């Protein structure tokens, strides 16, 4: 075997080693990137879920306070305790929204801001900061649940989840109210 053949063999071995190294490096980098994206998606799912849970908890506490203040519910706890509970759920909601702000996509963050506006109006009416009729109260709740669906839609898009929570296959739903609490003409 001549010197030229030996050099060609050494060159082929070196080229093979370099291409193996480059392939392994790119594969490892791709795997690490995928793991990082998956880890952030898991954190986003948790953040989005916690935020929606805290919004609903805040709405539930606002309902209890509103119904107690309006005489629509017999409440065994003083109004001040209900206000404190509402304040506590507000703290949880604030922390949850901060996580959305840190991890969420632009559209999900904007949908959260829109939801927060409606949520504030519900709380303001519950605490008496603004006045309103029962029909306005219910419309605020309808708006809140439409905004929750918009948030869900934006969060799903951010996570790359196909499908929709609104539209033809999922028509808008009405508030569920027991018959005994529906005044005549107030659907």
Question: Where does the pLDDT of residue 113 fall: very low under 50, low under 70, confident under 90, or very high at 90 and above?
Answer: very high
CA distance 155 to 51: 11
Residue 159 lies in a domain: yes
pLDDT value, residue 171? 58
Domain-embedded: residue 34:
no
Look at residue 169 and tell me whether its pLDDT is greater than 60: no
* Structure confidence by residue, pLDDT tens digits, 41-86: 889 999 999 999 999 999 999 999 999 998 888 878 899 999 999 9
Residue 8 in domain: no
Determine, yes or no, domain membership for 109.
Answer: yes
Residue, of 145 and 72, whose pLDDT is higher: 145
Q: Could you give phi then psi for residue 77, rounded to 5 degrees?
A: -110, 145
61 compared with 164, residue with greater pLDDT: 61
Question: What per-residue confidence (pLDDT) applies to 83?
Answer: 95
| Domain presence at residue 30 | no
pLDDT of residue 172: 62
Asked whether residue 91 is assigned to any structural domain, the reply reads yes
In total, how many domains does the chain have? 1
Token code pair at residue 154? 């934006």
> Any residues with CB less than 8 A from the CB of 142 and at least 6 apart, and which?
174, 175
Q: 64 to each of 15, 38, 70, 179, how far by Cα in Å?
A: 73, 39, 10, 19
Domain span at residue 56 reads 40-178
In a domain, 11, yes or no: no
Residue 99 · residue 48 · CB < 8 Å: no
Q: Is residue 86 situated within a structural domain?
A: yes
Statement: the pTM of the whole predicted model exceeds 0.75: no
pLDDT computed for residue 134 by the predictor: 92
């Amino acid at each position: 075997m001549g010197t030229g053949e030996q050099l060609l063999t050494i060159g082929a071995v070196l080229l093979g080693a370099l291409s193996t190294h480059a392939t392994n490096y790119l594969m490892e980098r791709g795997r690490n990137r995928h793991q990082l994206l998956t880890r952030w998606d898991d954190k986003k799912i948790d953040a989005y879920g916690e935020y929606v849970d805290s919004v609903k908890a805040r709405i539930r506490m606002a309902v209890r306070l509103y119904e107690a203040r309006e005489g629509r519910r017999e409440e065994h706890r003083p109004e001040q305790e209900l206000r404190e509970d509402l304040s506590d759920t507000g703290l949880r909601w604030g922390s949850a929204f901060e996580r959305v702000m840190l991890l969420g996509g632009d559209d999900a963050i904007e949908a959260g801001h829109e939801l927060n506006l409606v949520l504030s109006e519900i709380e303001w009416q519950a605490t008496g900061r603004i006045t309103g009729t029962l029909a306005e109260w219910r419309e605020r709740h309808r708006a809140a649940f439409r905004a929750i669906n918009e948030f869900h839609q934006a969060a799903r898009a951010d996570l790359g989840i196909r499908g929709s929570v609104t539209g033809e296959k999922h028509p808008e739903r009405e508030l569920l109210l027991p018959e005994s609490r529906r005044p005549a003409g107030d659907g």
